[in-house]
Amino acid sequence: MCGKRGGYFEMLGFDEAVMAEIYKAMSISLCSNVTGQIMTGLMVTPPKLGEPSYATYMAERDEILASLKRRAAKLVAALNELEGVSCCAPTGAMYAFPTISVPPKAIAQAKTEGVAPDFLYCRELLRNAGLCSVPGSGFGQRDGTFHFRYVAIATAVTVAVAIAIAVAVARN
């Protein structure tokens, strides 16, 4: 699990009737639990300069963001070392979306199994390395391109272990 889930949607400059319809549509499609809603409220209204918890909040926030950035950079560097894998650094999220080259034989195998080639790749990562990733085909991608999503929010030690396992699996 990735922790608490929440979100918000802001509309500016829309007619009230349009906003009401969009709000209704958004309300039925995704609904976080109460704690997720509270966490989102806290996220969008952090302590302000001069409030007692401001300095602590800023220090904790900055360290968390710096740590996520360091882990993502290590993950992306390791992914880019793998043959047939190319990955850009995340620019604000904790997900890496590497592009993968899938050999024709694997594409044929995926077609035989009735699954997307990147699904097959992710399944093999899970089976052979215990690494959970999500096929890019679930997010939409150009025909003939393949991706997967990997989350870089684990501890630094876990990310290092995952990188080592992925490299070992890719080389075999």
- Residues 151-158: contacts with CB under 8 Å, at least 24 apart: 151/2, 151/94, 151/95, 151/96, 152/68, 152/71, 152/72, 152/75, 152/90, 152/94, 152/95, 152/96, 153/2, 153/3, 153/68, 153/71, 153/94, 154/71, 156/67, 156/70, 156/71, 156/74
Strand, helix or coil at 150?
A: strand
Q: Which of 41-55, 58-72, 152-166 has the lowest mean pLDDT?
A: 152-166
Mean pLDDT of 88-110: 85
Hey, which of 7-16, 52-61, 96-105, 140-149 has the most confident mean pLDDT? 52-61
Q: Is the pLDDT of residue 172 over 60?
A: no
Q: Is the pLDDT of residue 171 over 60?
A: no
Residues 137 and 143: their CA atoms lie apart, in Å, by 10
The reported pLDDT for the residue numbered 48 is 95
Q: Please state, in angstroms and rounded to a whole number, the distance separating the CA atoms of residues 108 and 55.
A: 56
pLDDT (tens digit, 9 = 90+) per residue, 106-132? 899 999 999 999 999 889 888 887 778
Among 1-5, 21-25, 112-116, the minimum mean pLDDT is found in 1-5
Q: Report the distance separating Cα 91 and Cα 58, nearest Å.
A: 20
Q: Which CATH superfamily is domain 69-171 in?
A: Aspartate Aminotransferase, domain 1 (3.90.1150.10)
- Write down the domain spans for the chain: 69-171
The token duo for 31 is: 């609904």
Lowest mean pLDDT, pick from 6-15, 71-80, 121-130, 155-164 = 155-164
- The partner residues of 135 in beta bridges, in order of sequence, read 148
Neighbours of 75 (CB within 10 A): 26
